[in-house]
Amino acid sequence: MSDIAILAAGCFWGIEDKFSSAEGVIGTEVGYIGGKTNNPTYKDICQGDTFHAEAVRVFYNKEIITYDQLLDLFFEIHDPTTLNSQGPDFGTQYRSAIFCQNDFEALSSENKIKELNRNKFNNKIVTTIELNGNFWIAEEYHQKYLKKKKLSFFNK
């Protein structure tokens, strides 16, 4: 049995690649969450009016990696101080967001943001903490995209 975290940090390809290689992560799926449209497609998301975020659903073993450690990795692999953008990607679909499934995740996320704002980011984090809603799995060609293409956005 695994726990699940849903995180959005820009384009989901690189984020999925990084999380999938973390010890304790059992699996990942990329998809769309936080919007107003049912069954959105990548084309829908790119139009920018559905308000979904590109996100990764992380299945993890909390005996090996904790939710707090997942949050540490999340904040290491993207810039949480840029509103609705990461690198060359712009729009609400590229926002920095944590989609919480329960009070524990919400409190942990709030505490992590407070800690990082105090110690590293000088109160500039724009990451939102949102309620978990429907997670729509992205099209198959997006799943494990970088692995399929033998690419990486990150140095390992």
Catalytic, out of 8, 11, 100, 116: 11
Cα 128 from Cα 98, distance rounded (Å): 6
Report, in angstroms and rounded to the nearest whole number, the Rg of the chain calculated over CA atoms: 14
Cα 8 from Cα 18, distance rounded (Å): 13
Specify burial of residue 81 (Cβ count, 10 A radius: 0-12, 13-18, 19+).
Answer: middle
Active site residue 46: no
For 11, residues 6+ apart whose C-beta sits below 8 A from its C-beta are 54, 86, 87, 89, 94, 153
Q: Tell me the β-bridge partners of 33.
A: 53
Catalytic residues: 11
